[in-house]
Amino acid sequence: MEIRICFIGDSFVNGTGDPRCLGWTGRICQTVCDRGYDLTYYNLGVRRDTSTDINNRWLREVSCRLPPEVDGRVVFSFGANDMTLEVGKTRVERSHSVENIYQILTNAKQLFPVLMINSPPVEDAEHNMRIANLSDDFAQVCLQLDIPYLDVFTPLKDSEIWRQEVIQNDGVHPRALGYSELAKLVENWSSWKSWFQKQ
């Protein structure tokens, strides 16, 4: 049976910076297809999107791609843009980000199997601290809602490949090798792998 997956998030989901235009989502789905699964994937990553933007759009965009008769699933990944400083304050207040993710995931899990992945690190140390704090909040919400949550921030912060590519690119996004590093983390995640256990 065909599986359809929507990936919803920001520029990291979009794969911005990857000259191969695959990002991590394209890579992990390519691996699944190589294993013989009938998979359709939709990349719904939008540059600069915050949790507020995603809360406003995700259901409308997913509903037309995952009708009730298909095996539809959803992967969310966002947070870095919420914690970007503009005019001296974050684009979204941390407490509001938590409200957004709670609302998004509560609604999504009633309709689809759902996975949540936090934001990877950027080059700016203070921005990273804010992302890390928000990631802790997101992890707590996922625990509360019993939704699988993957921390990619911590291992990628220690990845020389990721860091070098971010530095050499725009200070935020990696290129192909960095996205490959992120893809490996998702591919080795038990919750992702459990979606593709052949009967």
pTM confidence score: 0.98
Question: Which pair of tokens denotes residue 164?
Answer: 């070098």
What average pLDDT does this structure show over 153-164? Answer: 98
Half-sphere exposure of 191 (CA within 13 A, CB side): 16
Residue 93, number of CB atoms within 10 A of its CB:
12
Can you give the pLDDT at residue 198?
Answer: 65
Phi and psi angles of residue 191, each rounded to the nearest 5 degrees, phi first: -70, -35
Bridge partners, 86 (sequence order): 89
**Beta strand segments in 12-112, E:** 39-45, 71-77, 85-86, 89-90
190 residue type, one letter: S
| Confidence check: pLDDT of 17 > 70 | yes
Residues 85-121: tens digit of each pLDDT:
999 999 999 999 999 999 999 999 999 999 999 999 9
Percent of the chain with pLDDT over 70: 99
CA pair distance 143, 70, nearest whole angstrom: 27
160 residue type, one letter: E
| Confidence check: pLDDT of 1 > 90 | no
CA pair distance 153, 79, nearest whole angstrom: 11
Domains and CATH numbers, the chain: 3-192 (3.40.50.1110)
What average pLDDT does this structure show over 27-47? Answer: 97
Percent of the chain with pLDDT over 90: 98
